[in-house]
Chain A
Amino acid sequence: MFQFGSPLDYLKKDLRLDLLDMIYQSGSGHIGGSLSSLDVLISVYHSDIFDFTKDHFVLSAGHLACGLYTVLASKNYFPKSKFSTYTSFNSILQGHIYAGVPGVEYSSGSLGQGLSFATGLALGDPKHTTICLTSDGEHQEGQVWEAAMFANKYKLGNLINIVDCNSFQIDGSTDDIMPLKNLAAKYIQFGWTVFTVDGHDINQLVKILKQSRKNIDYPICIIAKTILGKGISFMENNYKYHDIKNLDQKSYLQAKDELNR
């Protein structure tokens, strides 16, 4: 199911199981993108390249919250026992990412704003790195390109935007809804340094993140090519699993079985 080249690869399975349980128990959640972006989050948080007591992480695609919750709990920001409260009344684990959760700096949910927020952080804290995670569909928001222009103008070499490119959004493929064409070329035109990587290859992701940390005058965009619903066959590349409501028990058990293989 998963490549085993990196010592972090065991997390791919463990955190996917956490994620599946959290969403199954809660009855809802954005599972497709959370599964596609999870290996990026593992690479960012578990590689020890960054020190998030000083560096910053902005989840611009706020609906990918449960993926980040599993990663933060695996880094002991809060206990896993909180997972069962996800989307419940009075829980810190909101349906979209929320700064009340230990380790989360920015509450979001409305797409397109996070990269701008990250540029503000990078400008205000030039000695540390700011990493932003956006989705490909999110790039249909014009504000992302306002931020791209801005980051170039201010030479924000301490800013990294990782794009979770799973090619799907809530109503279908990005090609059908609003083609994004060549995102890498667009970012290059906007004056960014661009890397393209298999977003499920932790070795490669870690290598590029290390390289990206070097102090240069240009913001960096990492295009992570990913698979929507990665790890659960019937969810992979199926936009119906952008988010789910009340996953039936049979599907849940099948998904669990596949992840455990």
Chain B
Amino acid sequence: MNSTDNQSIRKAFGETLFKLAQTNSNIYVVSMDLKSSLHLNDFAKKFPHRFIECGIAENNAAAVAAGLAKTGKTVFLCSFACFSPAINWAVIRQSICYNNLNVKIVGSHAGLMTADLGATHQILEDVALMSALPNMEVFAPVDAYETQKITTVLSRSRRPAYLRLVRPDTPIINNFKNTFTIGKSQIIKKGKDITIIGYGPILHQALLAQEQLSLSKPNISLEIINCSSIKPLDFNTITKSLKKTGRLICLEDHQQNGGLGSIVATQILNSKLRPKFIHLSVNNQFGQSAKNYLELYDHYGLGVKNLIAAAKKLK
């Protein structure tokens, strides 16, 4: 895959929601001055009465969204993840989760992929924040195709949810024919030696590592699982894979504490499985600016070379 194959996850979200809103008049957007960034200009233009602009006020926006949801609307609360859910987490906790209302929190620009904007915008704690909340479901699409599918599924659900999006255009990984089901993960590459789990477009790094390892001697075969449904998590698929491989690498563009690796480690300790385990994540550090997120992946230990080293260590 080269860069010409890359597509925008944010654009896929905005365009899909616009399409869905044409037949579903219940869909509302609550915006916090980032409609262009989330490709919601068409939505705002075509459906001005369903596009609610709150300005730079994330706390108010989250509770406005909850109030709208109480009147029966399906509300998409759209901003950058470093602002929503980071600034308004307590409002999400009480007004959305405790009241159990139909608001989808869409947080774009998550992770080190937001390269040049630096540490303030590279939120690495959002999965931890949102996974901890009762009633909240957490999703992170691997590419633009899966973004379309998850957005469509969420528009039909009545429960609170968090949708984690990224800034750059990223490779298409998903088979377009695949369906998305809440609580199901997908094996995007079958293998037998090591299980790799993760979510979001960082999984492309695992595919690149897999290509190199399959040519190495002795070759190492990776089984790569896309856990785009982080909560509820499909632990069955992970269990089946681990019974075969006995080795696990969790790769995530997120802090180690509270991320997918923490969630899975707890479930593993609750089971009879005892795989060898390496968690490739950001370890108690802030990010920083870079021209290209791949420089950051290398620096923080999330790149292809780190994956290859981890796989060789486990093997």
Give CA–CA (A104, B209) in the complex, Å. 55
By beta carbon, the residue of chain A nearest B49 is A123
Show 9 A/B contacts (Cβ-Cβ < 8 Å), sorted by A.
Answer: A99-B99, A113-B59, A116-B95, A117-B67, A119-B67, A120-B64, A120-B69, A120-B71, A154-B52
Give chain B interface residues in 56-79, CB to chain A under 8 Å.
57, 59-73
B59 engages A120 (CB within 8 Å)? no
- A106's contact among B62, B64, B99, by CB below 8 Å, is which? B99
B70 engages A121 (CB within 8 Å)? yes
B54 engages A113 (CB within 8 Å)? no
A107 engages B57 (CB within 8 Å)? no
Given contacts A123-B52, A149-B55, contact A143 B94 (CB under 8 A): no
B91 at the interface (CB under 8 A from A): yes
Contact with B along A92-132 (1 / 0, CB 8 A): 00000001000001111110111011111111110000000
Contacts of A107 in B (CB 8 A): 94, 98-99
Contact with B along A137-160 (1 / 0, CB 8 A): 000001100110110001000000
B129 at the interface (CB under 8 A from A): no
Given contacts A117-B95, A123-B52, A150-B54, contact A106 B70 (CB under 8 A): yes
Q: Closest 5 A-B residue pairs measured CB to CB?
A: A120-B67, A124-B71, A116-B63, A146-B60, A146-B57
- B59's contact among A99, A119, A142, by CB below 8 Å, is which? A142
Least CB distance, A58 to chain B, in whole angstroms: 8
B90 at the interface (CB under 8 A from A): yes
Least CB distance, A155 to chain B, in whole angstroms: 13
Give CA–CA (A59, B91) in the complex, Å. 15
Contacts of A146 in B (CB 8 A): 54, 57, 59-60
Contacts of B63 in A (CB 8 A): 113-114, 116-117, 119-120, 143, 147
What interface size band does chain A fall in? 20 to 34
- B64's contact among A99, A105, A119, A125, by CB below 8 Å, is which? A119
- Count residues on chain B whose CB falls below 8 Å from chain A CBs: 26
B59 engages A124 (CB within 8 Å)? no
Contacts of B66 in A (CB 8 A): 117, 120
Give CA–CA (A109, B91) in the complex, Å. 11
- Interface residues, chain B, CB within 8 Å of chain A? 52, 54-55, 57, 59-73, 90-91, 93-95, 98-99
Give 17 new A-B contacts, CB below 8 A, not counting A119-B64, A146-B60.
Answer: A107-B98, A108-B94, A109-B94, A110-B93, A113-B59, A116-B59, A116-B63, A118-B67, A120-B64, A120-B70, A120-B71, A123-B64, A123-B68, A143-B60, A146-B54, A146-B57, A150-B57
Give CA–CA (A110, B57) in the complex, Å. 17
Given contacts A147-B60, A150-B57, contact A120 B94 (CB under 8 A): no
Give CA–CA (A110, B68) in the complex, Å. 19
Give CA–CA (A110, B98) in the complex, Å. 11
Give CA–CA (A147, B60) in the complex, Å. 6
B94 engages A124 (CB within 8 Å)? no
Least CB distance, B51 to chain A, in whole angstroms: 12
Contacts of A123 in B (CB 8 A): 52, 64, 67-68
A121 engages B54 (CB within 8 Å)? no
Among B61, B70, B73, B93, residue most surrounded by chain A Cβ atoms (within 10 Å): B70
Contacts of A110 in B (CB 8 A): 90-91, 93-94
By beta carbon, the residue of chain A nearest B56 is A146
B71 engages A121 (CB within 8 Å)? yes
Contacts of A114 in B (CB 8 A): 63
Least CB distance, A57 to chain B, in whole angstroms: 12
Least CB distance, B86 to chain A, in whole angstroms: 15
Contacts of B55 in A (CB 8 A): 149-150
Give CA–CA (A187, B254) in the complex, Å. 42
By beta carbon, the residue of chain A nearest B66 is A117
- B72's contact among A99, A119, A124, by CB below 8 Å, is which? A124
- B71's contact among A113, A116, A125, by CB below 8 Å, is which? A125
By beta carbon, the residue of chain A nearest B99 is A107
Contacts of B90 in A (CB 8 A): 110
Contacts of B99 in A (CB 8 A): 99, 106-107
Contacts of B91 in A (CB 8 A): 110, 113, 116, 143
A121 engages B57 (CB within 8 Å)? no
